């Protein structure tokens, strides 16, 4: 599996932590930046991750900013992206199981690093349920 990962300055430390965690799972990573805690604008990084997932360069993506909100909005502007901000284990499971979320977002200023890694693992390990949820995901994809 290949994961694109991106952040702004508010999510930089969390992104770096998640990269180390995911490397232990033998997941191939595409780091789309940023490369420091210097102030940058999150839309560019959310878009870059969204495009990598939408065009098939990556199977899935992870984005991080201060809250996860702004960068998730940016990623969701890319057609074909279903990005969910997750702040607990149930959200991480359900965004995979029911929404087939192909990008997950975290807030570096609001989510503990270890918890974010736990939530990322849940998201990666939870299969899409399909069934009635497929119709809904298809509706999202047609928007």
pLDDT one-digit tens code per residue, 46-74: 999 999 999 999 999 999 999 999 999 99
SS3 (DSSP) at 5: strand
The pLDDT of residue 142: 93
Task: Give me the active site residues, please.
Answer: 65, 98
**Strand pairing partners for 4?**
30, 61
What separation, in Å, do the N-terminal and C-terminal C-alpha atoms of the chain show?
27
Q: Give the residue among 78, 102, 85 at the shortest CA–CA distance from 14.
A: 85
Q: Say how many domains are in the chain.
A: 1
Domain span at residue 21?
Answer: 2-142
CATH code of residue 42 = 3.40.1400.10
Rounded Cα distance, 73 and 76, in Å: 5
Provide, rounded to the nearest whole percent, the portion of the chain with pLDDT above 90. 100
The contacts found for 126-132 with CB under 8 angstroms, 24 or more apart, are: 126/92, 126/93, 126/96, 126/97, 127/96, 127/97, 128/96, 128/97, 128/100, 129/97, 129/98
Question: What does the pLDDT look like over 10-50, one tens digit per residue?
Answer: 999 999 999 999 999 999 999 999 999 999 999 999 999 99
**Strand pairing partners for 3?**
29, 60
How much is the average pLDDT of 84-111? 98
The pLDDT of residue 118: 98
């Amino acid at each position: 599996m290949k994961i694109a990962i991106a952040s702004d300055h508010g999510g930089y430390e969390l992104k770096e932590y998640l990269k180390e965690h995911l490397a232990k799972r033998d997941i191939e990573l595409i780091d789309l930046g940023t490369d420091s805690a210097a102030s940058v604008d999150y839309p560019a990084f959310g878009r870059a991750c969204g495009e990598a997932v939408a065009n098939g360069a990556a199977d899935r993506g992870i984005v991080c900013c201060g809250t996860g909100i702004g960068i998730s909005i940016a990623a969701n502007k890319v057609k074909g992206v279903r990005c969910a901000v997750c702040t607990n284990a149930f959200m991480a499971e359900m965004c995979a199981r029911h929404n087939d979320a192909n990008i997950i977002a975290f807030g570096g200023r609001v989510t503990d690093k270890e918890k974010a890694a736990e939530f990322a693992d849940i998201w990666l390990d939870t299969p899409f349920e399909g069934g009635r949820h497929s119709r809904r995901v298809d509706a999202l994809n047609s928007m």
